[in-house]
Structure 1
Amino acid sequence: MARRDPRAHWFLLLLGLLLLLAVLTVNGLLTGIAGGSGGASGGASAEGSGAGVPPGVGTGGPVLRLDGDEPVSRALPARTIALTFDDGPDPRWTPQVLDVLRRHGAHATFFVVGARVNEHPELVRRMLAEGHEIGSHTFTHADLAAVPPWRRDLELSLTRKAIAGATGREVTLLRPPFSSVPTALTGPEYDALRAAAGVGHVAVLADQDTRDWQRPGVDQIARAATPKRGRGAVVLMHDGGGDRAQTVAALDRLLPALTDQGYRFTTVSAGIDAAPSMVAASAGSRLSGTALRWTQRAAHWSAQVMNLLLAVALVLGVARLVVQVVCARRHVRRVRRQRHTRPEVRAPVSVIVPAYNEAANIAATVRSLMASAYPALEVIVVDDGSDDGTAEIVERMRLRGVRVIRQANAGKPAALNTGIRAARANLLVLVDGDTVFQPDTVYRLVQGFADPSVGAISGNTKVANRRRLLGRWQHLEYVIGFNLDRRMYDVLECMPTIPGAIGAFRREVLLRVGGVPSDTLAEDTDLTMKVLRAGWRVVYEESAIAWTEAPSSLRQLWRQRYRWCYGTMQAMWKHRHALRESGGGGKLGRRGLPYLTVFQVVLPLTAPAVDVFAVYGLLFLPWSTLALAWAGLLVLQAATAGYALRLDRERYGPLWALPFQQVIYRQLMYLVVVQSVVTALIGNRLRWQRMVRTGEVAALVGAGQR
């Protein structure tokens, strides 16, 4: 057997979903960045462990050059203060800090977080324009002593690129997040700083840690920032990562007070009389930084769009359930009222059964029709060129009132039109060749014709072969989706589809609309829309039950739903002009078509992206929140499903399969929509694909299985 290559659009879809997941992952890594110093756990001890830290480092100055054989530390001279600010830039607090510094004529060093540089590059450019110095505080405020080497190198590289893209400069100064004074340095932290020195970084710790991130009060921050006995100091403060109102107030008090005491405020590099720490970035670094900034922005906006999409989908989904339930209740009340007021219909009925290779079920279908408790009934079986003996099976039954018409294979619409022309009655029931009726089905189905405005009636299709999991899923879909929708459509007077398995029509209506159309693959939907646009009402009779055989394999299910979905889109496009019409056509155009577009096309197309967002949530959001949200939606769906099952007088047992339906079956249905849309866009015409019958419907219904 020749190997078939997968179609290109599936590769594109998979590639797009992987790209979306990658972009969302970038956003997940960059959101919720923490702030503060003093240890990753929230507060460092005053003394480090000392293990692995050379003695001179812990007792030396806060500026460490570690790229040589021996560490070199530098301290600031007396009455010289290098104010340093970590965790920015922040759109609220950084401008306030800069305003205070400018007002007092002071310069400082800002250790910026790379991800925040990409969010607010204008603030970093302002820092440079006002004479301040910039250093690296990693890209995501990561603890360099705790992350693996590849992550450490990536944090430093990305931060350099971000600053280069924003300012055209590259930085050499580094303040590791969660660091404090040299005496608090641990062995792993020292090793991380040595590794960073290998790629050109000079570490800057602090002499005075104000712990302003704990918000101890303005007075305490000011006291912690003041050196003792006129010494010089590197002072650690924060302009981002939280509420920095106390920091701004303390800074405004500290600067004039210490200036009056003879202190000068400068940058770290100027304070130790070193060359400027920032150098011109290469064109490649600037380009990489710009690309990084746009990637981060794209990740942020992608997450925002996905949040909006998810919110819209949830609102629409909940609104749909509410409307379905409200309309179902109205439908129930209306049906009860009509049964007591409308006259009985007992006019002759012709049942038309198009049959192509229906040997597995045709006998059960015909017997069930002839067992109908209806006084005037004829059955016309139109054999559409079957080669499995379908016609012979019916003829051998020799049932009075059953006619067999043979024709060359021309398709289901042609077979139905042949039967319509041959029918003697004015009320016609169209039935698929694998459908089994209950004795009262025909009677209940045609009672709606007591209303002269009704041109067609949809019956209630049920899945017979529901013992296996796939059958249960389809059973739930028929009861919850199809039949709740039909009740809603009936109330809103915009029924778009009478199923081919069971539908009743006035003969004059079919003749007026030109019979069953053959130019779409969903002839039942196309026909129903034509009836509505011709000015007739189409209603739903829930008590008229027909048992049908659902696909028993995923392959057959795919083929059936692919045809249904593609055909429905054909019919929607064909009848798009109903949007501008009045009467029944207008109700279809302004109620039914938008509903189908949103819930049968648009939302299913977005579902794969929503599923990717769910994976993103598992990686970056609290599992308890996700579990609660999923459980809430499932409870809502289960409640709606229970109500739908009760309306259809079905047992609640299949509800256990609902969670699994959401995980597996739902995805398959969404992929069907994707395939159908692609087929429509590229202009291919889908061929009719007939489902292989197994005869299960006859065996199960005959045995009384429900």
Structure 2
Amino acid sequence: MAAAPPDRAARWTGRAPVQLLLLLVAVLAGTLLFPARLVLAPLGFALVLSALLFAAERWPRGFDRLFAASLPVPVWAAAAALLALAFSGALTVAERLTAETAAFALLTSLCLPWLVALAFDGNARRAASTRLRVPTWPLSVLSLLGLTGAFVFGGRLPSAFEAAVFAGFLVVSCIVAVVVPLTLAQVRGRPELDETFGGDAPFVSVLVPAYNESDYVGACVESILASDYPTDRMEVLVVDDGSTDGTYAEAAAYRDDDRVSVYHRANGGKHAALNFALSCSRGEFVVTVDADSVLDAGALRTAAAKLDANPELGAVAGTVVIDNPEGVVGGVQALEYVLGINTLRRAFSHLGSVMVVPGCLGVFRREALVGVGGYDPDTVTEDFDLTLSLLKAGWRVELSEGVVYTEAPFSVSDLLHQRLRWTRGNVQTLCKHRDVLWTPAYGSLHRFTFPLWACSLLLVPLAGALVTATLVGAALHGTLPAVALATGYFVVVLSLVAATALDVSGSDWRLLAYVPLHVVGYRQFLDFVVFRTLVGLLRGSTERWESVARARQEPSDAPSAGVRAPADD
């Protein structure tokens, strides 16, 4: 059989080296605007980290011999403190020890052990007395980062502007030196799959949980039935989870097709609806599709073929595309999906540790899904929780080129509600699976993806707050031109990164217009969401998730007229 024509991502690999070189030149051009150390040290850190990650994939046993050795928690904390003392001693010998540098050393000695204590819910005494052993890999990375900062600032406390620029170069350097090379390796390393399956295709069960999805669930079911997957190898199970509108009636209209089953049950949450559908299904592969999503015609076949070709895969994630990128709110989200979500998933896919199989399209091996017990009610981001459980169970999780279209919130208030839920669930899930940080057996999940996810959720907002404080301080003290110049530089570099991501995915180039908002505006909005979520969790609040407004649904507080919910199935 003739090979299928290469997709856009595969064709991108020919242009990738030139684009990567251009990105490196853009980062190095920062030396014309900032002190060379402020640019080169973060880039050096990112290059070393990238080399270590690729080495870990190439020589995992050798890497583990170097970095999977573990230390008891008290020894780990003592080593961190001794490192800070050694740093202070070096400053003394160099005659650079001042009140500021001593404070820097003290801060280092306090922060590193506290990172371990955080894994025990902030109980430092418990951390000091536990028998748990912590691998040297986190200490090595933190030490490398500390040495990078010490090299840049010479042991003194940086100003807010310097700290903001340093944080910016760390983020940009990690994107250029780590994320883009991993993305290139993922695209180049994909095997050419025979999506005809040769014999019988795996039987797939498509689960569609739905709550108040009238005017959406019908289009979702139609897109599934219109897939080019073999019609006799598929079943569709729609579960109406106690909807108060016309969702059940709309879905039940498709019961004439023998492949479609529709159930109604009392509202129990998405996880309960999915577990119920799983218990009723019989497919070798289990596909989950959100009721407000629409599948591309080849998405199901592409994802199932990828899962079928590699027995080590427990699940594959679909490629999510925003289908309503109109306006500022839609545009910034569309760029976020291309730049932040899908590009990171490509990088993680090379490592076999995609962190989230999205609810709008995920394909699971039944053995893997049942093996981890299905969906848990512990968090409000059940897809993230499940994916981490699969990775910890030893399954690989990768990205599929199968495309699913979903509608993004189109108002700021709805976007806020959505992101508060996501962030709350992410924090809950990270806390639930925090043992990943000290368990080298989890491989790349322990070495890279889980720590990066945690840092991007908790530390990037801190850096964003620094940038915001710097902008406000500059406006008050008359140094706004310098801050504007730095902001303009990072907008240019991020635009080049976004252009690379758009080229990989084949997305609309007009989305580049929203890059400035990802530096100033939308970034601060996301930081606010994180801080508000953390404050809420500390206060013990139990916010409920409220559905966002939908473009095809008329706002109404009452159930749709003439719609009567059936008895629970």
Report the TM range for the smaller structure's normalisation: 0.5 to 0.7
Q: Larger relative CO (CA 8 A, sep 6+): 1 or 2?
A: 2
| Structure showing greater Rg | 1
Q: Which position in structure 2 is the counterpart of 1:85?
A: none
Q: Distance in 1 between matches of 2:156 and 2:471?
A: 14
**Structure 2 residue aligned with 1:647:** 504
Which residues of 2 match residues 55-454 of structure 1 at below 5 A? 304-322=158-176, 323-335=178-190, 337-339=191-193, 346-375=201-230, 376-397=233-254, 398-449=256-307, 450-454=309-313
Residues 662 and 399 of structure 1: is their aligned pair in 2 closer, same or farther, counting only changes over 3 Å?
A: farther
- Alignment check: 8 A CA contact 2:161 2:467 kept: no
Gaps of 5+ in 2: 1-99, 101-154, 554-569
1:304 is displaced (CA, Å) by 2.7
Residues 571 and 670 from structure 1, CA distance in 2 versus in 1: closer, same or farther, beyond 3 angstroms? same
Provide the C-alpha distance between the structure 1 equivalents of 2:249 and 2:241, rounded to a whole number of angstroms.
13
> 1:520 is matched by which residue type in structure 2?
T
1:360–1:693 Cα contact (<8 Å) kept: no
Q: What is the alpha-carbon distance in structure 2 between the residues aligned to residue 547 and residue 457 of structure 1?
A: 16
How far 1:393 sits from its partner (Å)? 0.8
Q: Which amino acid aligns with 1:527?
A: L
User: Structure 2 matches for 1:306-705, cutoff 5 A?
Assistant: 306-322=160-176, 323-335=178-190, 337-339=191-193, 346-375=201-230, 376-397=233-254, 398-449=256-307, 450-541=309-400, 543-583=401-441, 585-620=442-477, 624-695=481-552
1:346-404: CA deviation from partner (whole Å, max 9, x where unpaired): 21111100000100211110000000000021111011011102111111233331110
User: 1:579·1:586 contact (CA, 8 Å) conserved in 2?
Assistant: no
Once the two structures are superposed, residues 282-304 of structure 1 have per-residue CA deviations (whole angstroms, 9 ceiling, x without a partner) of: xxxxxxxxxxxxxxxxxxx9983
Asked if 1 retains the 8 angstrom alpha-carbon contact of 2:487 and 2:519, the reply is no
**Following TM superposition, by how much is the alpha carbon of 1:599 offset from its aligned partner in structure 2, in angstroms?**
1.1
Between the aligned partners of 1:477 and 1:324, the Cα distance in structure 2 is 15
CA offset digits 1:500-546 (Å, max 9, x no partner): 111110111111101111110111100000000011000011x2110
Deviation at 1:325, TM superposition (A): 1.2
Residue identity opposite 1:510 in structure 2: L
1-structure distance, mates of 2:211, 2:156: 50
Partners of 1:454 and 1:684 in 2: how far apart? 38
**What is the deviation of 1:683?**
2.3
Q: 1:307 to 1:622 in 2, by over 3 A?
A: closer
Alpha carbons 2:440, 2:447 under 8 Å: kept: no
- Checking the alignment, whether the CA contact within 8 Å between 2:167 and 2:463 is kept in structure 1 is no
* Alignment check: 8 A CA contact 1:580 1:586 kept: no
Letter in 2 for 1:352: L
Partner amino acid, structure 1, of 2:311: P
Taking a change above 3 Å as real, the CA distance of residues 663 and 315 of structure 1, as seen in their structure-2 partners, is closer
Cα distance between partner residues in 2 of 1:630 and 1:328: 26
Bigger helix share = 2
Contact 1:494 1:591 in 2 (8 A): no
Query: What letter is aligned with 2:300?
Result: V
Q: Secondary structure at the match of 1:309?
A: helix
Summarize deviations over 1:454-504 as a string: whole Å, max 9, x none.
Answer: 001001111111122211110000000000110111123332211111111
Partner Cα distance (1:571, 1:366) in 2 = 30
Between the aligned partners of 1:386 and 1:475, the Cα distance in structure 2 is: 29
Q: Which runs of 5+ in 1 are unaligned?
A: 1-118, 120-300, 697-706
- How many positions carry a matched residue from both structures? 395
What residue identity is the alignment partner of 1:503? G
Amino acid at match of 1:364: A
The separation in 1 between residues aligned to 2:242 and 2:171, in whole angstroms, is 44
RMSD, aligned CA: 2.4
Report the 3-state secondary structure (helix = DSSP H, G, I; strand = E; otherwise coil) of the residue aligned with 1:304.
coil
Kindly provide the amino acid, as one letter, of the partner of residue 513 in structure 1: V
Give a deviation string over 1:321-341, Cα, whole Å, max 9, x none.
Answer: 212211111111112x44379
* Equivalent pair of 1:497/1:525 in contact (CA under 8 Å): yes
> C-alpha displacement at 1:686, in angstroms?
3.0
Q: Aligned equivalents of 1:500 and 1:515: distance in 2?
A: 13
DSSP 3-state at the match of 1:339: coil
CA distance in 2, matches of 1:309, 1:650: 34
Cα distance in 2, alignment partners of residues 356 and 386 from structure 1: 5
TM-score, with length taken from structure 1: 0.54
Aligned-partner SS, 1:690:
coil
